[in-house]
Amino acid sequence: GAGVSQSPSNKVTEKGKDVELRCDPISGHTALYWYRQRLGQGLEFLIYFQGNSAPDKSGLPSDRFSAERTGESVSTLTIQRTQQEDSAVYLCASSPFGQLSYGYTFGSGTRLTVV
């Protein structure tokens, strides 16, 4: 597609429920990243996918968080047993080549509110 697409744009869920967030990267972009941004805060790295290599999961805050990506296509970020502290905007970004010399293109994010 023309840009990075994320869905849903907004999600309100009850504490303890599971949620699944989706990211459609730009076609041909081999690298995909997930970030979390709390209100008024910076970008917190969560996970990074590069092609078919093992993902870099070093930023996932707990085992309630997991992400998948099949090849160079769609990625899903799953948060199990959501907590109020998980409320944030979850941003997905993609870039043409691994961790090299290209800027990231961000999606518009999913605003998650846990009530």
Partner 1 sequence: GQQVMQIPQYQHVQEGEDFTTYCNSSTTLSNIQWYKQRPGGHPVFLIQLVKSGEVKKQKRLTFQFGEAKKNSSLHITATQTTDVGTYFCAGRNNDMRFGAGTRLTVKP
Q: Which residues bind partner 1 (CB under 8 A)?
A: 33, 35, 40-43, 45, 48, 56, 58, 91, 93, 99, 101-109
CB of 18 or CB of 41, closer to partner 1: 41
CB of 19 or CB of 93, closer to partner 1: 93
For residue 83, the minimal CB distance to partner 1 (Å) is 23
For residue 15, the minimal CB distance to partner 1 (Å) is 26
Contacts of 29 (CB under 8 A, 6+ apart): 72, 94, 95, 96, 105
For residue 11, the minimal CB distance to partner 1 (Å) is 16
Contacts of 61 (CB under 8 A, 6+ apart): 36, 46
Are 67 and 47 in contact by the 8 Å Cβ rule? The answer is: yes
CB of 15 or CB of 44, closer to partner 1: 44
Q: For residue 85, give the 3-state DSSP assignment.
A: helix
What the block records as the tokens of 39 is 């209100």
